[in-house]
Structure 1
Amino acid sequence: MVIAVLLISLLLLIASGTPVAFALLLASLLAILIDGGVPGLVMLHSMLGGMNSFPLLSIPFFVFAGALMNSAGITQRIFDFTNALVGWLRGGLGHVNVGASIFFAGMSGAAVADAGGLGAIEVKAMRDQGYDAGFAVGLTAASSTIGPIIPPSLPLIIYAVMSSSSIGKLFAAGVIPGLLMALSLMLMVAWYAKKRRYPKDHGFSVSRCASTFKRAFLSLMTPVLIIGGILFGLFTATEAAIAASAYALCLGGVVYRTLNVKTLLKVSIETIETTSIIMLIIGAAAVFSWVLTTQHITTDFTQWMLAFTDNKVTILLLMTLILFIVGCFMETIAAITILTPVLLPIAVSLGIDPLHFGVMMVLNLMIGLLTPPVGMVLYVLSRVTDVPFETCARATLPFLVPLLIVLMLVTFIPALTTWLPSVLYP
């Protein structure tokens, strides 16, 4: 009875447009009241306990660093350098789009930040050069999903907290899948460029590469600072987030002098708002997960799944399907906090490495950001490019193909995620 009330009320609340955090809290509260044997204060303790985690401190600082990068003109420098580097290829700005996302991924760790920051620059540049608006928007949406896979990654931090995994190892596990995503999208761009006869945007120039690299050098050092500091043990992932924020603040305020008090205040308010939303979702999901655990839903689901089939391939496909469907309807962070306690025990029982499962989960949910009805990346791009949401959704569909291929590779070839962590963390 309690289980039915919990799940049905959650679905109804989400379907009615209730924000995910409040839907989780209300569904959990209703289940607790019906159960009758649980004091109301337990809900508050569970919520506070879910948010009381030291690694979660990295979230506001990575959000702040990404917002500073967007506001200080750093993204434009990265775009210009990437344009000089690969813009000479046929369909050059398409390749630039993907390449810039790789560089920006090492700074923000969020798909929405990539879409909102680089997205407007990339789509405008491509449309000005005569590229089809649908191609520009679809590629920009797809390439933005690289951000949460290549470190640093906010979703991987959330997964690390929920699964008690090493953030550093998870960051390392995301590097190869992230590069595979970029390669698959660039192959897609090459195919489109040949089919539609897109021209080369400019010739290759060593001097142009050198000059744009010089302008972007300090910006490009941001991922080196973050990843290098973690790998060499100079600081933890949380401290790396603080270092990234300080570095971005120094670049924008002292070196480039593109930040002023008004911009800094705006960035700070945006960071507070974004962090508050994320933390509220985490707290609400902690309560929901507690109810799932106390009602033995996670244990029962694990037993049911293993009784249904003990074939590893079949279970991986089922979990992939579950994650994909949930990603279409639920915000990423909420999905991770709810599904990790449910699906991870099944994965571990089958001998699947938690690092492998974590990257698979995040990659799957990232694809969900490109699909209606939630599709946060599509909403952001629609807003910053003035392209209708429906057009954004249709234009993104072809670019789901290379991402789904990479997802299958990551799902069924564990070495793509486990090899690099084993080398860097022997």
Structure 2
Amino acid sequence: MSIASPFSLSVVAITILALLGMPIGLSMIAGSALYLFLVGADMGIVAEQFLNGMYSNYVILAVPLFILAAEFMNVGSMTERLLDFCNVLVGRFRGGLAQINIVQSIIFAGMSGSAIADAAGSGRMMQKMMTRDGRYTPSYAAALTAVTSVVGPIIPPSIPMILYALMSDASIGYLFIAGTVPGLLMSALQMLQVAIDARRGNFPVEDPVPMREIPRITIRAFPALMMPVVLLGCIYTGITTPTEAAAIAAAYALVISVVIYRSISVKDFYASLYTSAKSSASIGMLIAGALVFNYVVTIENIPDAIRVLLTDMELTPTGFLILVNVILLLLGCVLEGTAILLIIVPVFIPTAQALGIDLVHFGVVVVVNIMLGLVTPPYGLLLFIMTNIAGCPVRDIIRDALPFIVWMVICLIIITFVPETVLWLPRLFGYQG
């Protein structure tokens, strides 16, 4: 491919605009428009086809609805009540508050589908609780919150899995089920590391919850605890599609917060809508840019060219998965995860299919890789979010996060080379892949 070819110039334009600070979604749209102009494509037809594809894609609607559900949870008292319940479960152990951080991430994973929502919502509260009276250092609390938030999009529901399904036509329902075991495995390994740190660092033991208080705390948290049950029950029983379930999740979070907990004011309601709209617009622009650029990539037959190249390398399915893991882990250090998912991953999907790799298994491997990118330096987005929340240097957070990152990589290796850890549960629900 010539360095002066339309596609090369398009890629250069996208790169330069992104480096100059333009949002990656707008950069992709501008670079793709340059390509279409240079090849003499009819811009009107391209725009019409693109918009029709966006507005007729029912799956995309689930993204803003899950974001809205997470916002209703954060502005209400659902977070506080769930943290009290987590304290009942693991608070009495040494390092119990750190273990609570992990358990609350597992519970919130069944509600929001977004790592950033978990870190910015319940993670902010956990940071305050862990650093109160000097129980834990700010950097350790921030590192733990960052790595536990990663579990959110692995355990269902999951916004990244919705986007992967958009790119691959894999079943969203089976993708959601497939993420359960890997997410719980990752959380178990995190809890093991906390137990090791607690013994080494003599972490504090929280005051045990009196037995007489446990029923009251459980009852207070019960409506919030039922949210994942309602959400996932609607999906897996076939009552609703994942998109409809996302709408139910948002409505459920609002009703519980307003009617039962009475913790959302009109001002809070407006703030939730405003914040959700901004986040949804940002993701929507990124999806739009990715779809336009993927159209360009398709015209250039890039996926077929890469498939032929990898076929010529005579890679086995295992070799291909190793190569994809290495590429995605390296890209995760420097690129935003959604951009990788929408731009890079579609190029690998035809090769994965040609090698007979199950697309549900491949999707979970991809999502775990991308979640790892949120906590790997130098770009890890969650690291910077927690730096702002904790007010400590990012290098200290990275230092404390490294042992957890090692366990997460071990989890990635397990699910890559032992597909049954991913596919066992979906097959119990009737998956034939």
What is the DSSP-based 3-state SS (H/G/I as helix, E as strand, rest coil) of the residue aligned with 2:273? Answer: helix
Which residue does 1:241 correspond to in 2? 246
- In 1, the alpha carbon distance for the partners of 2:249 and 2:44 equals 38
Q: Deviations over 1:72-95 (max 9, x none)?
A: 021111111101110111111111
Q: Which amino acid aligns with 1:44?
A: A
Which residue does 2:157 correspond to in 1? 152
Maintained 8 Å contact 1:88/1:202: yes
What RMSD over aligned residues (CA atoms) do the two structures have, in Å?
1.6
Maintained 8 Å contact 2:193/2:404: yes
Is 1:361 the counterpart of 2:366? The answer is yes
Match of 1:35 among 35, 39, 43: 39
Which residue does 2:65 correspond to in 1? 61
Which residue does 1:189 correspond to in 2? 194
Match of 2:74 among 53, 66, 70: 70
Which residue does 1:84 correspond to in 2? 88
Match of 2:296 among 288, 291, 295: 291
Q: Which amino acid aligns with 2:58?
A: F
Q: Which amino acid aligns with 1:263?
A: D
- In 2, the alpha carbon distance for the partners of 1:42 and 1:331 equals 30
Match of 2:111 among 107, 111, 129: 107
* CA spacing shift, 1:389–1:51, aligned 2, 3 Å: farther
In percent, how many aligned pairs have the same letter? 37
- In 1, the alpha carbon distance for the partners of 2:9 and 2:91 equals 55
Is 1:265 the counterpart of 2:270? The answer is yes
Would you identify which runs of 4 or more consecutive aligned residues in structure 1 move more than 4 Å?
none
* Higher mean C-alpha displacement, 203-212 vs 150-159: 203-212
Which residue does 1:15 correspond to in 2? 19
Maintained 8 Å contact 2:138/2:390: no
Q: CA deviation at 1:287?
A: 0.6
* Higher mean C-alpha displacement, 119-128 vs 174-183: 119-128
Q: Deviations over 1:338-394 (max 9, x none)?
A: 123201111111111110011111110011111244322122222233233343334
- In 1, the alpha carbon distance for the partners of 2:68 and 2:232 equals 17
Q: CA deviation at 1:124?
A: 1.2
Is 1:48 the counterpart of 2:55? The answer is no
- In 1, the alpha carbon distance for the partners of 2:67 and 2:244 equals 14
Maintained 8 Å contact 1:68/1:267: yes
Maintained 8 Å contact 1:62/1:244: yes
- In 1, the alpha carbon distance for the partners of 2:49 and 2:340 equals 18
* CA spacing shift, 1:205–1:350, aligned 2, 3 Å: farther
Question: How do 1:219-234 residues align onto structure 2 when only pairs under 5 Å count?
Answer: 219-234=224-239
Q: Which amino acid aligns with 1:311?
A: T
* Higher mean C-alpha displacement, 95-104 vs 369-378: 369-378
Which residue does 2:419 correspond to in 1? 414
Q: Which amino acid aligns with 2:294?
A: S
* CA spacing shift, 1:209–1:85, aligned 2, 3 Å: farther
- In 1, the alpha carbon distance for the partners of 2:417 and 2:44 equals 44
Match of 2:353 among 313, 329, 348: 348
Instruction: Return 5+ residue gaps in structure 2 as ranges.
Output: none
Q: Deviations over 1:50-89 (max 9, x none)?
A: 5231011111111111000000021111111101110111
Q: Which amino acid aligns with 2:79?
A: T
- In 2, the alpha carbon distance for the partners of 1:19 and 1:281 equals 8
- In 2, the alpha carbon distance for the partners of 1:184 and 1:88 equals 19
Which residue does 1:404 correspond to in 2? 409
- In 2, the alpha carbon distance for the partners of 1:49 and 1:412 equals 40
Normalising by structure 1, report the TM-score.
0.96
Length, aligned pairs only: 425
Is 1:3 the counterpart of 2:7? The answer is yes
- In 1, the alpha carbon distance for the partners of 2:375 and 2:293 equals 26
* Higher mean C-alpha displacement, 209-218 vs 255-264: 209-218
Q: CA deviation at 1:49?
A: 4.2
Is 1:119 the counterpart of 2:137? The answer is no
Maintained 8 Å contact 1:328/1:374: yes
- In 1, the alpha carbon distance for the partners of 2:221 and 2:360 equals 33
- In 2, the alpha carbon distance for the partners of 1:410 and 1:421 equals 14
Is 1:312 the counterpart of 2:327? The answer is no
- In 2, the alpha carbon distance for the partners of 1:173 and 1:239 equals 20
- In 1, the alpha carbon distance for the partners of 2:49 and 2:13 equals 20
Q: Deviations over 1:255-304 (max 9, x none)?
A: 11111110000000111111111111111100100101110111101111
Which residue does 1:165 correspond to in 2? 170
Maintained 8 Å contact 2:375/2:381: yes
Maintained 8 Å contact 2:140/2:397: no
- In 2, the alpha carbon distance for the partners of 1:79 and 1:249 equals 19
Which residue does 1:142 correspond to in 2? 147
- In 1, the alpha carbon distance for the partners of 2:332 and 2:311 equals 23
Maintained 8 Å contact 2:317/2:357: no
What is the DSSP-based 3-state SS (H/G/I as helix, E as strand, rest coil) of the residue aligned with 1:352? Answer: coil
- In 2, the alpha carbon distance for the partners of 1:309 and 1:208 equals 62
Q: Which amino acid aligns with 1:279?
A: G
- In 1, the alpha carbon distance for the partners of 2:338 and 2:308 equals 26
- In 1, the alpha carbon distance for the partners of 2:103 and 2:213 equals 17
Q: Deviations over 1:172-206 (max 9, x none)?
A: 01100110110010001011111111132233644
Q: CA deviation at 1:42?
A: 4.2
* Higher mean C-alpha displacement, 394-403 vs 340-349: 394-403
* Higher mean C-alpha displacement, 190-199 vs 308-317: 308-317
Maintained 8 Å contact 1:47/1:284: no
